[in-house]
Structure 1
């Protein structure tokens, strides 16, 4: 059972944070692992878009609903209530229960018998994941001193690109190599008769296997988290005068945040960035398959490993550089993300317009690293404009807005735009093709099939480029946040 240890060996002064340096590193690494699993289970749908779409015979707009609202609505609605619980109760327990729930729901996605059942299981994933980040951010703030929090939260935020990367690698590999028949052969060779009786493996599709194999390890992780992470004294790394304050009500939290102009600009910028990022991520693997003719496994590896690693580099460097530059450039948390997102716009356009995948990769890699400069500073700022009594609530309010509008609207709207542009490209030819006609490719002539494939590819290409241009809008909000950043921070970095 995890308990608060207040012995001399465990507790450090507020200039360094709670616990020994090694234990703080262990806790941060454990929370990063939780966040990686969070994003693996959340983003695996992006890699499996094409096989699920073919399995259930649906369009991009329906996959957008599955990738966006199915997850975002309850995820955002439950975030604030769970954050309020995290302000009062054992945060490690909340995280452990959440990991268990979302991992179980992810595994169940693999047995969905219809598109609607899969939709409902995705809703279940969102219910579990709602209890991850607010209590985790609150724990990090108690374990790490203000002078190192930007680096700590940036390391935690690595879970976003790393989770997406691992989801791409594992899902791509499983779909390409571990379908039902191959698993049945493995079980038979190992003598696992009990496993052979669980399902008709000969008819199990690879995307179902991916959900099951990705979900199961998270259940084990839930128990490990509960048994190894200590609950620190709340507000331990804050100055004494802030530690003595009474718990804040929800109304008080909103009252404080309403006066923080910086907070609202950061939330607005992060919402736009999330809207673009989640929407584009939902269909990037599909873009590589449709436009450059890659198989799913190769497309997933290129998207997950190459582009994902660059995104991870951007997330880490943003917080690390901001901490290093804070004394000389006090508003670095604001202008660095703005610069990164602004520069990413032309790079994304060049990458998605490139004629070959190898010409596309360099600008896409650079753009991914630059646009993710916003993520670490976002967490550092929204947690820094309030004291420890309302830190989890501040993060939850941020995630409520960012995910409801960004995650909830990004994937379905880019899906709708892709479908609409596909229809426009089809209408521009003389073959009289429609969206419905393109679904039955076996009954089309070679010319008609090629026209359908081209419309499918170009519709998605231009919808992605249109979305990426909105990073410039997000950059403006981060620049505006810099005008009030120093005034609004509760604890200054030192």
Structure 2
């Protein structure tokens, strides 16, 4: 029996369970979280290394903005998102730690292949292979973290796990750009891919598979919630027919359309149109990314743990307000005549743009049953990454190519301005989520 459109039995049980709420994570949980976070660092570092080193890759291989958008966006996302579904289903039925370890080794080997590519076609194939491996990275990790940390601490734990992207970006910009400046862009791919293969061994040796639903207890009972083998299609139907789950996925996708378009072209924009050097990017942009995105991830997770128990509308209101506040600063970043002023403006939207992720992941993990968590996390990633990762960079690269004939010196600037309406769409999508959360809460209170 699965969660219905109106009520999530698991969420109701967990919310009422004093045992679940007062359980404290032990040292093993924090150790596992640290390792999983490092894997996520490598996951995102390998994923974004292409955009970080876009300028030297374009110079050597003659890749256009549109082609760059395709291999960093649509081509990657198709494999990453679609394969995440069967991998998530497999992980829900088998050992999630082993699935994660194998996936880490696979995408790391594909990253090495990116560094060995001598043509656009070879680079595209290698990038798609990175997507194949990374399909098994995040969904199993979401579920593992949720089974190490009880309700009431998951928002914070998942926000710490979600520090992986900003740390990965910051290290990627700092070390990737530094290695590329000192040696070549190829060396950066090869070195970081080799590091990922070693990390895959650490995962399988040091992280234990936690009991599914072991910290989710039934009302008045210390026994874990039952964890039968999940059925694939019923879980998919449950997810897409559940108003809250569907809307949080679409709202996250609308947000990622902006964030991935911005991430995948900011380094190129700062170097080509704002005059930054690769060495300056390695210092100043790396610091901004690490501090601002990491701060946004962590602060939003803490705020959700504080406000969501009082009002579940916080899952939608928090990202909506943050994105609305980010818009004028984003416009200032695009307009700024110097890279120094551009970075000052960019710090604010970089912090606020990521207030959606920790709330979205926490909401999905607490809305479904323990044995549906990996697949549900994969379905969340399917929707938001197909929209955001698949379409965002692809759109921005194509628009930049469109403006290039008439605006050869600032085609990316013109393309960035067109992202403003998508900010507005993301705000409205999160307010749409709030309506579903209110309706669900009203239905629960009437039972």
User: Structure 2 length as normaliser, TM-score?
Assistant: 0.90
Q: 1:464 and 1:404 mapped to 2: Cα distance? A: 20
Trace 1:136-285 onto structure 2 (pairs within 5 A): 136-177=141-182, 179=183, 206-240=184-218, 243-285=225-267
> Could you report, residue by residue, the CA deviation over 1:313-350 in whole angstroms, capped at 9, with x for unpaired residues?
00110011111223444422221111111111111001
Summarize the Cα distance change of 1:58–1:259 in structure 2 as closer, same or farther, 3 Å threshold. closer
- Which residue, 294, 318, 327 being the options, matches 2:300? 318
- 1:125 Cα deviation after fit: 0.9
8 Å CA contact 2:275, 2:339 repeated in 1: no
Larger RCO, structures 1/2 (Cα 8 Å, 6+ apart): 2
8 Å CA contact 2:169, 2:289 repeated in 1: no
Residue 273 of structure 2: SS of its match in structure 1?
helix
- 1:468 Cα deviation after fit: 4.2
- Which residue, 410, 420, 426 being the options, matches 1:474? 426
Residue 300 of structure 2: SS of its match in structure 1?
helix
Q: 1:255 and 1:113 mapped to 2: Cα distance? A: 44
Summarize the Cα distance change of 1:28–1:468 in structure 2 as closer, same or farther, 3 Å threshold. farther
Q: 1:417 and 1:92 mapped to 2: Cα distance? A: 41
Greater radius of gyration (CA) = 1
- 1:469 Cα deviation after fit: 3.9
Q: 1:232 and 1:249 mapped to 2: Cα distance? A: 21
- Corresponding residue of 2:130: 125
- Corresponding residue of 1:422: 404
Corresponding pairs, count: 423
8 Å CA contact 2:213, 2:227 repeated in 1: no
Residue 334 of structure 1: SS of its match in structure 2?
helix
- Corresponding residue of 2:35: 30
- 1:16 Cα deviation after fit: 5.0
Instruction: Tell which deviates more after alignment, 384-393 or 371-380.
Output: 384-393
Summarize the Cα distance change of 1:491–1:115 in structure 2 as closer, same or farther, 3 Å threshold. farther
Instruction: Tell which deviates more after alignment, 404-413 or 339-348.
Output: 404-413
Residue 355 of structure 2: SS of its match in structure 1?
helix
- Corresponding residue of 1:462: 414
Residue 272 of structure 1: SS of its match in structure 2?
helix
Q: 1:387 and 1:487 mapped to 2: Cα distance? A: 21
Q: 2:398 and 2:230 mapped to 1: Cα distance? A: 42
- Corresponding residue of 1:56: 61
Trace 1:378-457 onto structure 2 (pairs within 5 A): 378-425=360-407, 455-456=408-409
8 Å CA contact 1:266, 1:378 repeated in 2: yes
Q: Is there any run of 5+ residues in structure 2 with no aligned partner, and where? A: 1-18
Q: 1:174 and 1:402 mapped to 2: Cα distance? A: 32
- Corresponding residue of 1:485: 437
Q: 1:60 and 1:245 mapped to 2: Cα distance? A: 47
- 1:488 Cα deviation after fit: 4.7
- 1:240 Cα deviation after fit: 3.3
- Corresponding residue of 2:286: 304
Q: 1:327 and 1:95 mapped to 2: Cα distance? A: 31
Residue 153 of structure 2: SS of its match in structure 1?
helix
Residue 292 of structure 1: SS of its match in structure 2?
coil
- 1:150 Cα deviation after fit: 1.0
